[in-house]
Amino acid sequence: MSNYEKWVAFCTILIKEVRRYLRIWPQTLLPPAITMTLYFVIFGTLIGSRIGEMGGFTYMQFVVPGLIMMSVVTNSYANLVSSFFGAKYGHSIEELLVSPTPGYVILAGFVTGSCSRGMLVALIVTTLSLMFAELQVQHLWLTLGIVLLTSILFSLFGFINAVFANNFDDISIIPTFVLTPLIYLGGVFYSLELLPDFWAGVSRLNPLVYVVNGFRYGVLGVSDVDVRFAFGMIFLFTVVAGTYSLHLLNTGKRLRQ
């Protein structure tokens, strides 16, 4: 395939992916808007006012970055896992596998599609949050960089999940039993400073801690962990997950017999 043909194939996958989540927006874009508004109301306004300050900010300001990242993570993941597994389950993935489109173009198309949903949801949630808290982004490029990289990373995780999944249960197990606990324990709602040393140490093994704190630093300028280290870790995870995903796609694991 020429580079132009690869570009056409990439755009075809991307457009198809974007159209998919836009078509089913009540399942893809509306839920994060509703849940996050509830979080803002309950944790930020009702309970938050009693909690007082955290990390030098009002509790509302403190939780907003974490909640935005939470929606980016869950939506990027959910988008790729359901789209790719759906295509695998219904066999329409064969349309792509029989074509000359190389594996990396297929992966890039799916990941970019999921990222676009992650970013769109981030935009929606951020806009909503402005009704509840005043946010001044301290480091714009770092903030955008972390959102983008996080969205890529969790799209890739979603892809890997989809490749190994055999049925619809398999695509909800990881989000329920792994992703959600890691997000809740990743410092979305509290500062690691509040934890005893031991648990603060254990928390540092949780990749979500870097995602949440990196982003919080970008927005508020404070973080529980070294931001360069956080960024490096997310980057490293992304490279590893990307390489592994590409390997799965090129060897046809669970896709070809």
Chain residues that interact with other proteins, rule: CB under 8 A: 1-2, 4-6, 8-9, 11-13, 16, 86-87, 90-92, 94-102, 252, 256-257
Which residues pair with residue 54 across a beta bridge?
57
Considering the complex, state which of residue 26 and residue 90 has its C-beta at the smaller distance from other proteins: 90
Q: How far is the CB of 159 from other proteins (least distance, A)?
A: 18
For tokens 């198809």, the residue is 16
Which tokens is 182 given?
């890691």
Q: How far is the CB of 86 from other proteins (least distance, A)?
A: 8
Compute the half-sphere exposure of residue 195: CA atoms within 13 Å on the CB side of its CA: 16
Q: How far is the CB of 34 from other proteins (least distance, A)?
A: 24
Which tokens is 242 given?
């990307």
Considering the complex, state which of residue 69 and residue 171 has its C-beta at the smaller distance from other proteins: 171
Q: How far is the CB of 136 from other proteins (least distance, A)?
A: 43
The SS3 call for residue 196 is: coil
Compute the half-sphere exposure of residue 110: CA atoms within 13 Å on the CB side of its CA: 33
Nearest to 211 by CA among 80, 79, 77: 77
Considering the complex, state which of residue 52 and residue 90 has its C-beta at the smaller distance from other proteins: 90
CB environment 5-24: b (16+ within 10 A), e (fewer):
ebeebbeebbeebbebbeee
Helices (H) and strands (E) in the chain, counts: 13, 2
Q: Are 77 and 175 in contact (CB under 8 A)?
A: yes
Considering the complex, state which of residue 24 and residue 236 has its C-beta at the smaller distance from other proteins: 24
Q: How far is the CB of 171 from other proteins (least distance, A)?
A: 17
DSSP structure class, residue 91 = T
Considering the complex, state which of residue 47 and residue 255 has its C-beta at the smaller distance from other proteins: 255
Considering the complex, state which of residue 92 and residue 166 has its C-beta at the smaller distance from other proteins: 92
Q: How far is the CB of 153 from other proteins (least distance, A)?
A: 26
Q: How far is the CB of 114 from other proteins (least distance, A)?
A: 17
The SS3 call for residue 257 is: coil
CB environment 105-124: b (16+ within 10 A), e (fewer):
bbbbbbbbbbbbbbbbbbeb
Considering the complex, state which of residue 97 and residue 182 has its C-beta at the smaller distance from other proteins: 97
